[in-house]
């Protein structure tokens, strides 16, 4: 067997991959050979494994490295295809009609909750945390949470949703 560095350089030159990728492929191949040897020789020591690795024919190493490179390319292709698919599935940048419908539905829902809770819910929907909501409205964080809970309870009542377990249905933040 040629030196490990020679094989790494061979991979870099042959397949135009990074040195890190080449080292990873070489390491994976050596691990594969070692596991195979130890499966057949469970009592083998470190010196036996080193001797076995040194005697592996270059043709076998070359073939194994080619297989591992092929697997690397396939994995990266799958990753790239998944990324492209995910990108294609993204929602369009803006759909004015959908935005208008969502805003109408939001306003309809907000009309069903107490006046004092509407600003809390709007700020919460914008992504603000309780402390920031409280600061913007000039109330305490616990008051903001209480108003939010009242809003949820009002919506449940208006929608006919009944829940007897506050631990499940309550808003615990």
Q: Over the stretch 125-171, which tens digit does the pLDDT of each residue have?
A: 888 999 999 999 999 989 999 888 888 888 778 777 766 655 555 55
Inform me whether the pLDDT recorded for 70 exceeds 70: yes
Q: 158, 112 in Cβ contact below 8 A?
A: yes
- How far is 31 from 26, CA to CA, in rounded Å? 9
pTM exceeds 0.75, yes or no = no
70 and 40 housed in the same domain: yes
Considering the chain, what is the average pLDDT of its residues?
A: 85
pLDDT of residue 100: 81
Domain count of the fold of the chain: 2
Query: How far, in Å, CA of 19 to CA of 154, rounded?
Result: 63
Judgement on whether residues 130 and 150 belong to the same structural domain of the protein: yes
Mark whether 129 and 62 lie in a shared domain. Answer: no
Write the CATH number for 158. 1.10.10.10
pLDDT digits (tens, 9 = 90+) for 39-60: 999 999 999 999 999 999 999 9
Q: What is the pLDDT of residue 173?
A: 43
Domain termination site, one of 60, 88, 116: 88
Both 83 and 35 in one domain: the answer is: yes
Pairwise CA distance, residues 98 & 104, whole Å = 10
The domain in which residue 13 lies consists of 4-88
């Amino acid at each position: 067997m040629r030196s490990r560095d020679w094989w790494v350089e061979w991979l870099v030159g042959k397949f135009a991959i990074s040195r890190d990728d080449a080292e990873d492929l070489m390491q994976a191949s050596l691990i594969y050979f070692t596991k195979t040897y130890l499966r057949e020789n469970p009592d083998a020591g470190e010196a036996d494994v080193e001797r076995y690795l040194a005697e592996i024919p270059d043709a076998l190493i070359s073939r194994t490295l080619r297989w591992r490179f092929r697997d690397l390319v396939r994995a990266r292709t799958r990753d790239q295809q998944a990324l492209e698919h995910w990108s294609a599935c993204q929602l369009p940048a803006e759909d004015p009609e959908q935005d208008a419908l969502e805003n109408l539905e939001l306003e309809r829902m907000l009309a069903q909750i107490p006046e004092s809770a509407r600003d809390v819910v709007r700020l919460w929907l914008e992504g603000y945390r309780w402390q920031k909501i409280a600061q913007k409205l000039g109330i305490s964080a616990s008051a903001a949470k209480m108003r939010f809970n009242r809003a949820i309870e009002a919506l449940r009542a208006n929608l006919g949703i009944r829940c007897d377990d506050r631990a499940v249905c309550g808003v615990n933040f």
